[in-house]
């Protein structure tokens, strides 16, 4: 008996890397899988159905059942058609995993509107376009599992990826919101932050690539667990996966607070700010070797 026997899953961005590993992992656990991939390059160009179909063949070679889908998650019609494909072929939908993504790196002062829009459309809107029709079905059935994908670039920031960082932090907000909305219907929504070697990390500097050095297949077991009935009590969580290590990240919460009886003036706040509130230091400043505060010239 597999952990996901009888389940139907949709995996977006399943033609390569982490998505491919997730689709294979779900199929190995017994799920029937819609393998979605627009089949584009890392920067979102030259679509093809070849990547999705190749993973379908891998699943079938292992004795599993899958269909390919090459629709783009960046459109509402594309997201709807992915969910419709699962319902038309397999008659149900229990699991949605959103792995689709592209990159258009640029510092914020050089980024174009098109570079911003393209990345936000695939990562953030691309979650919504699939989750909206999926949650409608899951609400009616009163069960379901949704696994979203963020990144440490979203959780901690990335100086050369403002579009990607914003979209990935947005995915965390979408995850928490949907977890709250769907809890009464027995649907769980959790978020994975992966570190793994993929087509995306090949573009990173050597130091950042070393941090991501872990096989993409290592993420699949965590997703499979979250997609199973064994994780019916887990929702609204951000879970980081790097190789054999699985970490639970905290939710934002107030660190310190100060109150003025008369109300604050800028001058009064300036007098006490550093001692009373201080800063929750950006961890990536240290990781990137950026001195802060800057030295006076």
Indicate the domain borders of the chain: 8-249
The one catalytic residue in 81, 151, 158, 193 is 151
**Would residue 185 show up in a list of annotated catalytic residues for this protein?**
no
User: pTM of this prediction?
Assistant: 0.91
**Would residue 168 show up in a list of annotated catalytic residues for this protein?**
yes
pLDDT confidence of 199, banded at 50, 70, 90?
very low
| CA proximity to 80, closest of 15, 12, 19, 143 | 12
At 188 the three-state DSSP class reads strand
Tell me the average pLDDT across 234-257.
96
**Would residue 151 show up in a list of annotated catalytic residues for this protein?**
yes
- Taking CA 102 as the corner, what is the angle to CA 193 and CA 189, rounded to the nearest 5 degrees? 35
Upper half-sphere CA count for residue 50 (Cβ side, 13 Å): 5
Q: Which CATH architecture has domain 8-249?
A: 3-Layer(aba) Sandwich (3.40)
CB 175 within 8 A of CB 251: no
Give the C-alpha separation, 288 to 223, whole Å.
30
| CA proximity to 131, closest of 89, 181, 90, 66 | 181
The one catalytic residue in 168, 193, 195, 228 is 168
Q: Is the pLDDT of residue 259 over 60?
A: yes
The one catalytic residue in 7, 72, 164, 165 is 164
pLDDT at position 39 is 78
């Amino acid at each position: 008996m597999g952990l996901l026997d009888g389940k139907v899953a949709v995996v977006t961005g399943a033609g390569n890397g982490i998505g491919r590993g997730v689709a294979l992992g779900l199929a190995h656990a017994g799920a029937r899988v819609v393998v979605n991939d627009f089949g584009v390059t890392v920067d979102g160009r030259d679509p093809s159905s070849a990547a999705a179909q190749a993973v379908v063949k891998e699943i079938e070679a292992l004795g599993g059942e899958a269909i390919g889908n090459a629709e783009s998650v960046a459109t509402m019609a594309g997201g709807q058609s992915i969910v419709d494909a699962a319902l038309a072929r397999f008659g149900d939908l229990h699991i949605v995993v959103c792995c689709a993504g592209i990159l258009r790196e640029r510092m914020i002062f050089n980024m174009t509107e098109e570079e911003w829009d393209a990345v936000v459309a695939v990562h953030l809107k691309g979650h919504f376009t699939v989750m909206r029709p999926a949650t409608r079905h899951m609400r009616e059935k009163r069960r379901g599992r949704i696994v979203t994908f963020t990144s440490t670039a979203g959780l901690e920031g990335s100086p050369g990826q403002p579009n990607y960082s914003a979209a990935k932090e947005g995915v965390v907000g979408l995850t928490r919101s949907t977890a709250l909305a769907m809890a009464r219907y027995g649907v769980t929504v959790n978020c994975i932050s992966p570190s793994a070697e993929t087509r995306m990390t090949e573009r990173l500097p050597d130091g950042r690539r070393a941090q991501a050095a872990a096989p993409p297949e290592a993420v699949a077991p965590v997703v499979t667990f979250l997609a199973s009935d064994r994780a019916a009590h887990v929702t609204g969580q951000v879970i980081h996966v790097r190789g054999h290590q699985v970490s639970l990240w905290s939710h934002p919460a107030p660190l310190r607070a100060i109150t003025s009886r008369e109300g604050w003036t800028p001058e009064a706040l300036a007098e006490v700010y550093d001692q009373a509130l201080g800063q929750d230091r950006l961890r990536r400043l240290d990781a990137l070797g950026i001195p802060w505060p800057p030295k006076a010239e």
